[in-house]
Amino acid sequence: MFKWLLVIAVVVLGYVWWRHQRQLAAHERTAERAAESARQNGAGPGAAQPDTMVRCRHCGVHLPAADAVRGGLGPYCSDEHRRLAEG
């Protein structure tokens, strides 16, 4: 009798583990798809996102990446500061 309980327990545990692995795999696929579509939209990792804050390399002020001026060395709050920092 105990042997059967053990077999059932192993089967149930195996089923739970299998389901967990499937959910992990599905989750990874979803994340990959999201990253892929983000790349296709030109918003890959490191690209400007609306709520990403960057710091001006010249004066240190924080501003949204979308409003920042991109310089050769990094983001700036204004074209003037980019010029002052990079010449």
The residues pairing with 12 across neighbouring beta strands, listed in sequence order, are: none
The answer to whether residue 57 forms part of the interface with Zn ion (CB under 5 A) is no
Report the residue number, 32 or 80, with the smaller CB distance to Zn ion. Answer: 80
The answer to whether residue 59 forms part of the interface with Zn ion (CB under 5 A) is yes
What are the tokens at 39? 């790349």
Task: Please state the closest distance from residue 81 (CB atom) to Zn ion, in A.
Answer: 4
Of the candidates 51, 54, 52, which has an alpha carbon nearest to the alpha carbon of residue 71? 54
Task: Please state the closest distance from residue 51 (CB atom) to Zn ion, in A.
Answer: 20
Q: Could you give phi then psi for residue 44, rounded to 5 degrees?
A: -75, 180
Site residues for Zn ion per CB under 5 A? 56, 58-59, 77, 81
